[in-house]
Amino acid sequence: MKHLLSLEKLPREEMLSILRNVSAFKQGRKQDPRRPLAGQTWAMIFAKSSTRTRVSFEVGIAELGGRPMFLSATDIQLGRGEPIKDTARVLGRMVHGAVIRTYAQSDVEQFAEFSGIPTINALTDLEHPCQILTDVSTIEELRGPIAGKVVAFVGDGACNVPSSWIWAAARLGFEFRVASPRRYQPPADLLRRAGGSIVCTEDPAAAADGADVLYTDVWVSMGKEAEAAERRRELAHYQINRALVQRAKPGALVMHCLPAYRGLEIDEATFEAHAETIFTQAENRLHVQKAILDWIVQP
Ligand code: CP
Ligand code: NVA
């Protein structure tokens, strides 16, 4: 039984095998006859908001021949306190796979353990593996192999998105730089466990110097709304803008996992100048997740 619970738990070979199939799903979207999810129903349990992840999984599951069943966590009994392991045992007897967006990583792991069906992490507080597999795939599509490149992340370096980036960098052999104030830097134990070429700095310009990719994410992740004012104050200098882009390699990609808050983590002009890249990145969620679904249902 395969799961995609985190990039930490996804071995390099499996990562590569997913990434290898993306272009076939993207190029062949209209005429691809493969239906690896034929006859299957996939539950999509979401405890947090989503546009890209929800739509790309619903469309992707349907295009692979399956039926997506969207379940808002607040509408099912989970939201009234039914334990995740009971929810998992019920759904495991009825559906063929699950895509889960929630807070605690342990909930996704428990669901996988108790349901006995393939389980995909669609974002937890700890990781966002589908996003970072997409980002790697997008960089390779636009700029060739990621090995040896430099990806500079500017913003909240302690949230799910940079955490998944750290595992990707360790497995795929590129340099990942994080520019954040000290208290928003990746946890020391994560850096120790992951290894790889990870550089943490408080200086966005130093992170951006000669980088192939500048990347950012929201300053206030879902679940951190109570800290919004404090985060906006403390992260105010960690914005991708024209001056920062000028430090990067000429022609560097500017990426954002979205949703974007103009004037905070990225300025309006820089966002719009790089919108083609950013929305290709968003579109690629669909193609990459089809490759993930296809991989996960193969024995
Ligand atoms: N990037 C991303 O996961 O977007 P959603 O929150 O809209 O799914
Ligand atoms: N770090 C962000 C990612 C949104 C896709 C969050 O968790 O809200």
CA of 51 to the centre of ligand 1 (A): 6
Residues 239 and 140 both lie in one domain: yes
Give yes or no for residue 53 CB within 6 A of ligand 1: yes
Residues 186 and 245 both lie in one domain: yes
Determine which residue's CA is closest to atom 7 belonging to ligand 2. Answer: 221
Q: Distance between CA 78 and CA 119 in Å, rounded? A: 17
Structure tokens at 231: 């985060």
Instruction: Report the pLDDT value the prediction gives residue 4, as an integer from 0 to 100.
Output: 99
Q: Distance between CA 84 and CA 112 in Å, rounded? A: 10
Q: Distance between CA 105 and CA 47 in Å, rounded? A: 12
Residues 154 and 256 both lie in one domain: yes
Instruction: Report the pLDDT value the prediction gives residue 214, as an integer from 0 to 100.
Output: 99
**28-75: pLDDT as tens digits:** 998 889 999 999 999 999 999 999 999 999 999 999 999 999 999 999
222 CA: nearest ligand 2 atom: 8
Instruction: Report the pLDDT value the prediction gives residue 30, as an integer from 0 to 100.
Output: 84
Instruction: Report the pLDDT value the prediction gives residue 236, as an integer from 0 to 100.
Output: 98
Find, among 280, 291, 259, 290, the residue nearest to 49 by Cα: 259
**176-207: pLDDT as tens digits:** 999 999 999 999 999 999 999 999 999 999 99
Determine which residue's CA is closest to atom 8 belonging to ligand 2. Answer: 221
Instruction: Report the pLDDT value the prediction gives residue 43, as an integer from 0 to 100.
Output: 98
Domain span at 182: 129-281
Instruction: Report the pLDDT value the prediction gives residue 31, as an integer from 0 to 100.
Output: 87
Give yes or no for residue 112 CB within 6 A of ligand 2: no
CATH number of the domain at 277, please: 3.40.50.1370
Query: What does DSSP say about strands 67-72 and 213-216: parallel, antiparallel, or unpaired?
Result: unpaired
Counting residues of the chain whose pLDDT is more than 90, the rounded percentage is: 98
Give yes or no for residue 51 CB within 6 A of ligand 1: yes
Residues 137 and 273 both lie in one domain: yes
Helix (H) or strand (E) holding 54: helix 52-63
Active-site positions? 101, 128, 131, 217, 257, 285
Give yes or no for residue 257 CB within 6 A of ligand 1: yes
Instruction: Report the pLDDT value the prediction gives residue 126, as an integer from 0 to 100.
Output: 98
Residues 116 and 149 both lie in one domain: no
Do the beta carbons of residue 182 and residue 160 sit within 8 Å? no
Instruction: Report the pLDDT value the prediction gives residue 212, as an integer from 0 to 100.
Output: 99
The reply to whether 201 falls in a domain is: yes
The reply to whether 18 falls in a domain is: no
Instruction: Report the pLDDT value the prediction gives residue 256, as an integer from 0 to 100.
Output: 98
Instruction: Report the pLDDT value the prediction gives residue 175, as an integer from 0 to 100.
Output: 99
Give yes or no for residue 124 CB within 6 A of ligand 2: no
Residues 102 and 52 both lie in one domain: yes
CA of 263 to the centre of ligand 1 (A): 19
Residues 109 and 191 both lie in one domain: no
Query: What does DSSP say about strands 175-179 and 41-46: parallel, antiparallel, or unpaired?
Result: unpaired
CA of 37 to the centre of ligand 2 (A): 28
Residues 268 and 165 both lie in one domain: yes
Report residues of the chain scoring pLDDT below 50: none
Give yes or no for residue 160 CB within 6 A of ligand 1: no
